[in-house]
């Protein structure tokens, strides 16, 4: 058993929380069931005892001080679109939801930054930025996640190959520490060499070190023109083999995604769109690369498209389809964004990993992963970011025996994560660790590195009240 103990919430503590959060408190049976899980229910479901929905940094600070003084576990929560169980209140206690902290506070267009609260949805920030003549580049697949959640997992997304991940756009943040103290990390500048980067520690920490209540993010001038190419191949191996050649030609793609035929066709059918061909010129299509290029004008982008077309056709592409109209561009990316929803809708039990491997190792890794599914009761589906080697692999089962499925999944995950590390990769590219991937993280980094991470956690959170049981803090550990 863990040496850390927690207290139950009393009626007196509830009254204190109501005062601290100006009444933004929901208790017991009035809490919506959605707050018991994230997108991947298989990692656990549990209702918090109290749901607090603050609207200001000061309210968050007051709530955290009460919880720290009384040793009440606190689970931070955004839109709960995570896939690792990071937002599950496994000990009950308080769930602190930032979804009502959803204001875009201000733009500084001279310094190309925007300041927001953590509950702003990615889709809303992206659209609002464009209205102000700037672009927020991070583009994770779940557009209705909160930006605070993106920062907490260092989400990547489709445009990471050119523009980087969420981490590259966080200039500064306001953080409430577990004891209720408010600190400011980073600054609205483009470079720093000022001691340890506590800002970078917070990014990707999955709500285990502090609660982000405000962020200043970098924005950029948007490209004038964007075009996408749909590139069909007979096999996935041929599709991936062409990717390094596009980089070698200095074409600087904005996005490079790969999709295999089965899940692509299923998604097209579900969305009632007809963009990706199942066969061409009598050749059965096995996989697609969806490539996007951007630039300062249409001529520049068309030049990239033409050069890219020559490269991929020489590398075995059956043809090149250019999404050169706004509708076709939207449809192509709608299908890419809908792949996970389709997989979820068509299976009863689902588990997922988002390994990242060197680009050239993608075919070897996927071949190995698929071989593990031979003769099993589950089906393996996949898609991912061909431009950066981040792969999303799903075990899908129509069975009803969750326990048996999880045992099978554990065997599969241990093997594929070990293979990813063997090939020079990591066990998560953008979804994080939560509670569902903690044992695999230990296998990858070893006991010493886990101890170092736990030591950092203890410095920030001596009472270990903030998101216990996640990332590096196992509740079963002594």
317 phi and psi angles, rounded to 5 deg = -65, 140
Q: What is the DSSP string of 381-442?
A: EEEEETTTTEEEEEEEE--S-HHHHHHHHHHHHHHHHHHHHHTT-BSBSSS--TTTSHHHHH
Contacts of residue 408, defined as CB under 8 A and 6 or more positions apart, other chains included, come to: 376, 377, 378, 395
Beta strands in 32-138 (DSSP E): 50-52, 74-77, 94-97, 104-108, 113-116
- Whether residues 201 and 245 share a domain: the answer is no
The mean pLDDT of 443-462, rounded to a whole number, is 97
Contacts of residue 129, defined as CB under 8 A and 6 or more positions apart, other chains included, come to: 114, 135, 136, 219
Q: Which tens digits make up the pLDDT trace of 120-169?
A: 999 999 999 999 999 999 999 899 999 999 999 999 999 999 999 999 99
Residue 418 within any structural domain of the chain: yes
Of 189, 218, 247, which marks where a domain is finished?
218
The pLDDT assigned to 477 comes to: 60
Residue 378 has pLDDT above 90, yes or no: yes
Quote the tokens at residue 377: 């009761």
CATH number of the domain that residue 292 is part of? 3.30.70.2190
Of 188, 218, 248, which marks where a domain is finished?
218
User: Residue 166 in contact with residue 125, Cβ under 8 Å?
Assistant: no
- Whether residues 351 and 338 share a domain: the answer is no
Q: Which tens digits make up the pLDDT trace of 38-71?
A: 999 999 899 999 999 999 999 999 999 999 999 9
Residue 418 has pLDDT above 60, yes or no: yes
Number of structural domains the chain divides into: 3
User: Residue 232 in contact with residue 276, Cβ under 8 Å?
Assistant: yes
CATH number of the domain that residue 370 is part of? 3.30.70.2740
Please tell me the distance from the alpha carbon of residue 466 to that of residue 13, in angstroms, as a whole number: 17
The model's confidence at residue 7, banded by pLDDT at 50, 70 and 90, is: very high
Residue 57 within any structural domain of the chain: no
> What residue has token string 């706004």?
326
The mean pLDDT of 231-241, rounded to a whole number, is 93
Residue 294 within any structural domain of the chain: yes
The pLDDT assigned to 28 comes to: 83
Which among 375, 359, 225 has a CA at the least distance from the CA of 292? 225
Which among 387, 374, 389, 457 has a CA at the least distance from the CA of 428? 389
- A 10 A CB-CB count for 158 gives 23
Please tell me the distance from the alpha carbon of residue 166 to that of residue 123, in angstroms, as a whole number: 14
- Whether residues 317 and 378 share a domain: the answer is no
Residue 296 within any structural domain of the chain: yes
Query: By residue range, what is the domain housing residue 162?
Result: 104-218
**How many CA atoms are closer than 13 Å to the CA of 277, on its beta-carbon side?**
18
Quote the tokens at residue 73: 């576990």
Which among 241, 295, 286, 246 has a CA at the least distance from the CA of 265? 286
Q: 65 or 3: which carries more pLDDT confidence?
A: 65
Residue 467 within any structural domain of the chain: no
For a pLDDT cut of 90, what percent of the chain falls above it? 91
The pLDDT assigned to 139 comes to: 94
- Whether residues 235 and 295 share a domain: the answer is yes
The mean pLDDT of 223-244, rounded to a whole number, is 93
Residue 356 has pLDDT above 60, yes or no: yes
- Whether residues 259 and 282 share a domain: the answer is yes
- Whether residues 124 and 190 share a domain: the answer is yes
Average pLDDT, the chain: 95
The pLDDT assigned to 2 comes to: 60
The mean pLDDT of 22-48, rounded to a whole number, is 94
Residue 51, classed as helix, strand or coil, is: strand
The pLDDT assigned to 3 comes to: 73
CATH number of the domain that residue 154 is part of? 3.30.465.10
The DSSP letter of residue 7 is: P
Residue 146 within any structural domain of the chain: yes
- Whether residues 262 and 174 share a domain: the answer is no
Alpha helices in 136-235 (DSSP H): 147-153, 160-163, 198-202
Residue 191 within any structural domain of the chain: yes
- Whether residues 357 and 416 share a domain: the answer is yes
The mean pLDDT of 17-23, rounded to a whole number, is 97
The mean pLDDT of 391-412, rounded to a whole number, is 94
Of 318, 342, 366, which marks where a domain is finished?
342
The pLDDT assigned to 1 comes to: 46
The pLDDT assigned to 172 comes to: 98
Residue 478 has pLDDT above 70, yes or no: no
- Whether residues 116 and 176 share a domain: the answer is yes
The pLDDT assigned to 192 comes to: 85
Give the Cα-Cα-Cα angle 31, 32, 38 (nearest 5 degrees).
115
User: Residue 116 in contact with residue 146, Cβ under 8 Å?
Assistant: no
- Whether residues 170 and 274 share a domain: the answer is no
Quote the tokens at residue 402: 């969750």
- Whether residues 176 and 112 share a domain: the answer is yes
Please tell me the distance from the alpha carbon of residue 36 to that of residue 88, in angstroms, as a whole number: 6
Residue 182 within any structural domain of the chain: yes
Q: % helix / strand / coil in the chain, to the nearest 5?
A: 40, 20, 40
74 phi and psi angles, rounded to 5 deg = -125, 130
Q: Does the pTM of the predicted model rise above 0.85? A: yes
- Whether residues 238 and 195 share a domain: the answer is no
Residue 351 has pLDDT above 90, yes or no: yes
Residue 451 has pLDDT above 70, yes or no: yes
């Amino acid at each position: 058993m863990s040496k850390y103990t927690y207290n139950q919430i009393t009626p007196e503590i509830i009254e204190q929380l109501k005062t601290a959060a100006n009444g933004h408190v929901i208790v017991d049976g009035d809490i919506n069931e959605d707050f018991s899980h994230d997108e991947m229910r298989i990692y656990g479901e549990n209702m918090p005892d109290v749901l607090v929905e603050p609207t200001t940094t000061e309210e968050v600070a007051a709530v955290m001080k009460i919880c720290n003084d009384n040793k009440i576990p606190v689970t931070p929560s955004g839109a709960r679109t995570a896939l690792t169980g990071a937002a599950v209140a496994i000990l009950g206690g308080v769930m602190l939801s930032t979804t009502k902290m959803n204001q875009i506070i201000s733009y500084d267009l001279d310094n190309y930054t925007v300041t927001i609260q953590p509950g702003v949805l990615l889709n809303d920030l992206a659209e609002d930025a464009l209205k102000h003549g700037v672009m927020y580049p991070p583009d994770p697949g779940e557009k209705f996640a909160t930006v605070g959640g993106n920062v907490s997992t260092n989400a990547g997304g489709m445009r990471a190959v050119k523009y980087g991940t969420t981490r590259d756009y966080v200039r500064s943040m306001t953080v409430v520490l577990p004891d209720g103290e408010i600190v400011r990390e980073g600054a609205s500048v483009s470079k720093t060499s000022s001691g340890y980067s506590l800002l970078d520690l917070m990014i990707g920490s999955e709500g285990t070190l502090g609660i982000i209540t405000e962020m200043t993010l970098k924005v950029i001038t948007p490209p004038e023109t964007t075009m996408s190419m749909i590139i069909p191949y007979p096999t996935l191996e041929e599709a991936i083999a062409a990717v390094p050649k596009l980089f070698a030609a200095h074409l600087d793609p904005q996005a490079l995604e790969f999709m295999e035929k089965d899940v692509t066709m299923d998604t097209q059918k579900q969305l009632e769109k007809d963009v990706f061909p199942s066969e061409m010129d009598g050749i059965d299509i096995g996989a697609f690369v969806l490539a996007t290029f951007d630039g300062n004008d249409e001529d520049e982008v068309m030049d990239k498209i033409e050069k890219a077309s020559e490269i991929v056709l020489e590398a075995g592409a059956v043809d090149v389809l250019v999404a050169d109209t706004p509708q076709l561009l939207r449809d192509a990316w709608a299908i890419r964004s809908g792949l996970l929803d389709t997989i979820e809708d068509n299976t009863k039990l689902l588990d997922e990993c988002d390994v990242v491997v060197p680009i050239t190792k993608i075919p070897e890794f996927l071949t190995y992963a698929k071989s593990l599914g031979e003769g099993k009761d589950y089906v393996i589906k996949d898609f991912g970011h061909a431009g950066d080697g981040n792969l999303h692999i799903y075990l899908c089962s129509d069975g009803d025996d969750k326990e048996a499925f999880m045992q099978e999944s554990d065997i599969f995950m241990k093997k594929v994560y070990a293979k990813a590390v063997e090939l020079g990769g990591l066990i998560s590219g953008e979804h994080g660790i939560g509670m569902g991937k903690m044992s695999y993280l230990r296998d990858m980094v070893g006991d010493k590195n886990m101890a170092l991470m736990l030591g950092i956690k203890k410095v920030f959170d001596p009472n270990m009240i903030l998101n216990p049981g996640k990332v590096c803090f196992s509740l079963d550990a002594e």
